[in-house]
Amino acid sequence: MEKKQKKQIAELEFQKLIKLANQANGMLLGSHIYLLVMFAVMHVDFMVWVNVVSILVYLVNFYLIRRNMNLFFGNTYVEILLHMTLAIVAVGWDSGFQIYAFALMLTIYYCDYIGKKIGTPSLHPRVVSIAVAVLYVLLYVESHYFSAFYTLKNPKSYQSFYIVNAIFVLVFIIIYVENFEALVLQTEERLTEAAEKDELTMLDNRRSMQERLNQLLNEKDKKGEIAVAILDIDDFKLVNDTYGHSVGDMILKEVALRMKEKESKAIRVCRWGGEEFLVLAVGDAAYQNLIVVICDLLEKIRGDKYYYGKKCIQITISAGVSQWENEEKIEHTISRADACLYEAKAGGKDQYIAKKVKDRG
């Protein structure tokens, strides 16, 4: 993949992270506004002021998200831990504020993952998670040996706090798990594409085509014909030697685009190696359909013009076509196509030679 493409992907990932961070920050801001109202209604004045500070932190975070992601992560971690600690000290363990620790641990690893992807790794997630776990235990011990600063007059208020906190945490976890799954799937897709695609032309690579051929021949109920063609750019070494490899790469990409135009369910193209391409045709009349495709490619590529400065470059291709014979190894079919290609080269280039097997009866 070219540097420009990699830069575009990195920018897209960063923009997705920014969007996700804004969503998370907005959700945390909204939760603290709601908690501020609840604490005010229940006359827990200390936590009202704590939530005022928390709201200011998340307002500042909107500014930090695009400017300093690490500081944004740090502010969020510290705020959640402090708010959780102060809330438990203020109204007790039964209020359920300790369950934010579980969401925080998940978020720590998630933030570390996306931070590494954009080149801004956060604090070591294991260290921070252990610290959170230790704090969780300490708060549990503290709440069972010391009374809370505030005793809520209505016992159902504790249930209200617990339910609200549980809902916030569950929604938070669901959103982050869904986004993490999306990131993992995107990464897997890119890895699969990198393994199956040729980096320069973005056609299937040789390995991918070989797997396709093996799968095709292993099918129990093979229907129709199978035919392959090997195509080679004529005098490609001369192009590289005369104009340089950058021009050679440009021509390879343009030829690949021409071939890509021919792809369908019945026609697949790959870069076989160097300036060679392989075209696979399957289905009824695959051999004749492949001949039509090769003839059209020869004509179009012969007429294409490529410019290097003021010079106009024109190229041709040669091809060898072969039909798969029942029960034979696909390597033998490809070898016949390769032999036809060399025959086309020896016979003057800019042409194709094809050999069809006898009817399979």
Q: CA-CA distance, 215 to 222, in Å (whole number)?
A: 11
275 catalytic per annotation: yes
Q: Which residue has the tokens 């016949």?
A: 336
SS3 labels along the chain: CCHHHHHHHHHHHHHHHHHHHHHHHHHHHHHHHHHHHHHHHCCCHHHHHHHHHHHHHHHHHHHHCCCCHHHHHHHHHHHHHHHHHHHHHHHCHHHCHHHHHHHHHHHHHHHHHHHHHCCCCCCCHHHHHHHHHHHHHHHHHHHHHCCCCCCCCCCHHHHHHHHHHHHHHHHHHHHHHHHHHHHHHHHHHHHHHHHHECCCCCCECHHHHHHHHHHHHHCCCCCCEEEEEEEEECCHHHHHHHHCHHHHHHHHHHHHHHHHCCCCCCEEEEEEECCEEEEEEEECCHHHHHHHHHHHHHHHHHHCCEEECCEEECCCEEEEEEECCCCCCHHHHHHHHHHHHHHHHHCCCCCEEEECCCCCC
- Choosing from 2, 178, 219, 275, which is the catalytic residue? 275
Residues in Cβ contact with 139 at an 8 Å cutoff, skipping those fewer than 6 apart:
84, 85, 88, 89, 93, 98
Q: CA-CA distance, 122 to 127, in Å (whole number)?
A: 11
What are phi and psi for residue 162, nearest 5 degrees? -65, -45
Tell me the sheet residues that pair with 352.
Answer: 319
The residues that are catalytic are: 275
